[in-house]
A = this chain, B = another copy of it.
Amino acid sequence: MEKAKTCATCHGDEGISSIESYPNLQGQKMGYLMTALRSYQTRERSSGLAVLMQQQADALSDQDIADIAYYYSKLGSDANKQ
């Protein structure tokens, strides 16, 4: 999914991160992912590496957030997850 290409850099092509600090996104709840992205936009998530996600989230429209959250919520649902 085109919009998720940037996300994949840190969160993995399949939404499984290779870095301890970065969460897996594969199969995560859509509602939660949308709230998380909005919280970076509003700076209600502000610890440590949050600044990286604040910058990413600032570039997203509401539709982008919905599309990306939907994409990751469904990712891996037809395959076994690691």
Contact = CB atoms under 8 A, between A and B. Distances in A.
Interface residues of A, number: 29
Contacts of A50: 39, 44
Given A23-B36, A44-B45, A45-B45, 11 more contacts: A17-B32, A20-B29, A20-B30, A20-B31, A21-B29, A24-B28, A38-B47, A39-B45, A39-B47, A44-B46, A81-B81
A58 B13 CA distance: 35
Given A47-B45, A80-B80, A21 B35 contact: yes
Contacts of A27: 24, 81-82
Nearest to A46: B44
